[in-house]
Amino acid sequence: MKTTARVRRVGIYVRISDDREGGGLGVKRQEDDCRLLAASLGWTVIEVYVDNDVSAADRRKVRKDYRRMLADIENEHIDAIVSWHPDRLYRQPAELEDLILLVERKATEIATVKAGDLDLSTPHGRLVARMLGAIAKYEVEHKQERILRKVEELVAAGKIHNSGHRPFGYTRLFDGEGPRRKILGEILNEAEVPYVKDWAARALTGEKLHSLVMDAIDKGVKTTTGGDFTYQAMRALLMSARISGRKEHKGVIKGQAVWPKIIEPEDSDTLRALLAKRSEEYRAEFGERDATALKYPLSGLVRCTCKVPHVVGEPCGCKEAGKQHHKMSTAQRGDKDMPIYTCKRDGGGCGGRTIQIPDLEPLLEKLLFKRVEEVEALAEEDPNDPRPALEAKLKKWEKAKAEWEEEALTGEHSPRVILNAIAKLDENINKARREAAEYSVKANLTEIGSAELRKAWTDYSVSRKQSVYRGLIREILIHPATRPFNVWNPDRVEVFWR
């Protein structure tokens, strides 16, 4: 009896790593060639699997249609594969071994346009496949080396990487069309630059990122991907050295870039140090990167002396003694609708001390304006300004760091000694920058001017008022009430300024 060969149910797999044309033309050409091969073999194409603009070099990247094809082999929806070349199917040896196990178990045939049949059921066929896989792996690694070297050249020259989203505040100039067009350069985006400058200036006065995010959302300002600003997006923008016209790579500033600056490098350094320090402080106090806006501007600063009593007017040594005054929380009076700060027992406090917020806030506003006037008068010659001394130390430590980095090329010291020295210098540099940044907040606040601050105060949001208070006040201590208890006594309030 005459037998006829069974018609194979074929799945065509096509893939291209880098679709520079942006129209899927590369995978379309592969599919056309694969269909011709399937027709010449008498096979019926019932499915096409397309992974366009997806690399197979990195196993962490998901090739959705490749996985769908494997599932269809497993459930016997297809029993043959046609691909343009074996390296379209796999580029990693581990991925090939998984494919071998599956097609051998399911007796799946593989044919390629450029390399012929791929018989993974025989030792010789598997050897050929592994050799092709080794070659593909070498090509991937060699390409990665070229890319990394190119990145290093771009970093050294302060040039633009031809990838990623458009940075906020800049307009990109392109050569060509489509998503893979070449970036020629960047110019300032006149519509976005004022926002960057305003947000940076406000952050330098201590305003919280949450407040800036709400400001962006209220004004309808979108990120370059079209979404609302988030904490992460705002922090990344203000922490980036890019907005100061400098090239940054893996968190390290490499030097001047080819694009224009939006803010001064000195302000950028202060911002980076300030936001890094603030993140640590908020994480320690609130358990998150940046506490959300609070209802009252003094929240977080008001504390009870029940745990660490001291004489009013005398220096408080609680911090030096390793102790802390208990933070008071907001609540409502039980006998009438009145917001108060209270030292809650369930939070470890005394449970009895309170102070009315409508009494406390006007007092602190008066003290704040008076303090700004005092600091403003001494601003020109402040003997306590630590920044000149810190700048001198920074220059010395940065020079020493550069010498140790140069030392790494000579081999006179062990890598451990060099790395430890650089790590210690980095610790000193970061600490000095953060100390200078903290003082800059106070300096920037006084530069606003007491008269201007008074005028703008009523229009400030709660978050912005809170930022001003936090920039100038370390803590507000509430002492026990005195007789007559129903009369407001401002002497109960003691403010410790920064």
Q: What is the mean pLDDT of residues 382-390?
A: 75
SS3 361: helix
Which tokens belong to 310?
């001291």
Indicate the helix (H) or strand (E) that contains 380. none
Helix (H, G, I), strand (E, B) or coil at 171: strand
Reduced to 3 states (helix: H, G, I; strand: E, B; else coil), residue 273 is helix
Tell me what pLDDT residue 237 has.
93
Which domains, from first to last, does the chain contain?
Answer: 9-146 (3.40.50.1390), 192-286 (3.90.1750.20), 302-497 (no CATH)
Strands 170-175, 182-188: pairing is antiparallel
- Identify the band that residue 47 occupies on the pLDDT scale cut at 50, 70 and 90: very high
b (16+ CB within 10 A) / e for 292-327: ebeebbbbbbbbbbbebeeeeeeebebeeeeeebbb
User: Is 0.85 topped by the overall pTM?
Assistant: no
From the number of C-beta atoms within 10 Å of its C-beta (0-12, 13-18, 19+), residue 257 rates as buried
CA-based nearest residue to 129, from 103, 155, 154:
103
User: How many CB atoms are closer than 10 A to CB 135?
Assistant: 12
**Least confident among 232-241, 356-365, 413-422:** 413-422
Q: Which residues pair with 81 in a beta bridge?
A: 11, 110
Give the model's pLDDT for residue 347.
Answer: 72
Tokens 């399911």 map to which residue?
A: 106
**pLDDT tens digits for range 114-126:** 888 877 777 777 7
Angle between helical axes of 357-378 and 415-448 (0-180°, round to 10): 100
Q: How many CA atoms lie within 13 A of 435 on its CB side?
A: 16
First-to-final CA distance of the chain: 101
What integer pLDDT is reported at residue 350 of this predicted model?
A: 86
Is the pLDDT confidence value at 195 over 90?
Answer: yes
Could you tell me the pLDDT band of residue 292, with boundaries at 50, 70 and 90?
Answer: very low
Identify which of 59-63, 235-239, 347-351, 378-382 has the greatest average pLDDT: 235-239
Q: How confident is the model at residue 133 (pLDDT cuts 50, 70, 90)?
A: low
Find how far residue 18's CA is from the centre of its chain. Answer: 27
Q: Is 259 buried (19+), middle (13-18) or exposed (0-12) by CB count in 10 A?
A: buried
Strand partners, 117: 111
Q: Would you say residue 25 has pLDDT above 90?
A: no
Residue 334's pLDDT band, with cuts at 50, 70 and 90, is confident
Predicted confidence band at 33 (pLDDT cuts at 50, 70, 90)? very high
pLDDT at 81: 93
Could you give the CA distance from residue 333 to residue 356 in angstroms, rounded to a whole number?
A: 9
Mean pLDDT across the chain: 79
d(CA 193, CA 186) in angstroms, rounded, equals 13
So what's the pLDDT on residue 379?
56
More confident residue, 223 or 156: 223
Token digits of residue 404 = 């140790």
Handedness of CA 467, 471, 472, 476 (dihedral sign): positive
Cα separation, 230 vs 207, in Å, equals 15
pLDDT at 453: 79
Predicted confidence (pLDDT) at residue 387 exceeds the cutoff of 70: yes
